[in-house]
Structure 1
Amino acid sequence: MLDQDSKKNAVEFGVENAAVSLTADGLANLKAANGETWFVAPPLVSDARGHKVQAKFTTNGANLTLTLDKNHDAAYPIVANTVMATALFRNLYADFWKNDFRFNGDLTVAGWAVYISGPMGQLTLNNSGWKEWTKKFPDITNKPTLNQQYRCHVLGALAAGQWNLERARRNMSSNLWHDWFVKRCNW
């Protein structure tokens, strides 16, 4: 939180024993010396009136800095909310559906925070989130319908509940995309 007296437009977070990098969609990745990775969701920043304040993460590789654009009429205090977690998804497991694999998972609290952050959140889920699924299930990339179902869930996560990617489903052609929302990603 920044109050009017601070005259700061940035807050630096020291990160011990970790390398910090940023994705194109604003997500901060912290990689610890032991190999563990943490995600910090793009911040939601607002002023005392509830108006959005533009902000972004920057890094020098060792520290994470939240920089605010205070070139507007902000009412103090300015508050930034972000979520830090080790994963965007939880409960990733495989089972069977129609004699083929089904891959399942749920958004974590961090995943939901990323999702509700808007288009950049969807970009983060399409990139970093998909990497979580492919790390857990390396063979998930061998049938286009699995990524198509995943991207459908990214667009409609509020209605999706648990995310289920069924290998038995057909690959979508470009003229069938209207089925996505009608069938809740299960065409």
Structure 2
Amino acid sequence: MSGGGFHVHGPHDHELEHATQHAAEGHHGVDGGSMTNQIAMFTAVIATVGAIFAYMGGATQANAGLYKNEAAIKKTEASNQWNYYQAKSSKQNLMELALALVTDDKKDFYKKEIDRYKLEKAEIKLAADKLEADATEWNKKSDEQMHQHHRWAQATTALQVSIALAAIALLTKKKWLEWGMFGVGAIGVAIGGLAIAHI
């Protein structure tokens, strides 16, 4: 704390300065300061990367839900069009029945009605087919986003395991755990790379 022309150290300031000075000089000390610094730096970097991966995983999961919802809407709209198509088919069938039953002087009217229903049905079918294609496309996008979400989740999990190994390595001072921490961290970053590449 500074004030009035003098400086007062907090109780831990001297130890922090001492640890920083020795780390900068490359002293390992009794507690393996170099290993401690290395693990601390690795943990900070991996935790940051893991936070980004977790965010991306959440974003892709949200997108998958939105796309699946859009697919359901398009499927419902397509179903409505097919119901409309069925109604037109029923009316066309009635006109065809009437055509067979009426006298010759009324046949032209029913032929025109039948032609009109055929034309309307063709337009409705085009709309329904397009909506079904849209629904399929939205479903495909949703599935792709879910696959990517799983990749982000796998990458995040690997990074969390790596951080746990880092903590254990720090406590036990075991070099093989430190190598394990680096290995699992590299696997997590590689899986994140697969997510970025949409693989």
Pairwise TM-score range, normalised by the shorter structure: under 0.3
Structure possessing the higher radius of gyration over alpha carbons:
2
Give the TM-score normalised by the residue count of structure 2. 0.20
Give the TM-score normalised by the residue count of structure 1. 0.20
Higher RCO structure (Cα 8 Å, ≥6 apart): 2
Q: Answer 1 or 2: which has greater strand percent.
A: 1
Q: Answer 1 or 2: which has greater helix percent.
A: 2
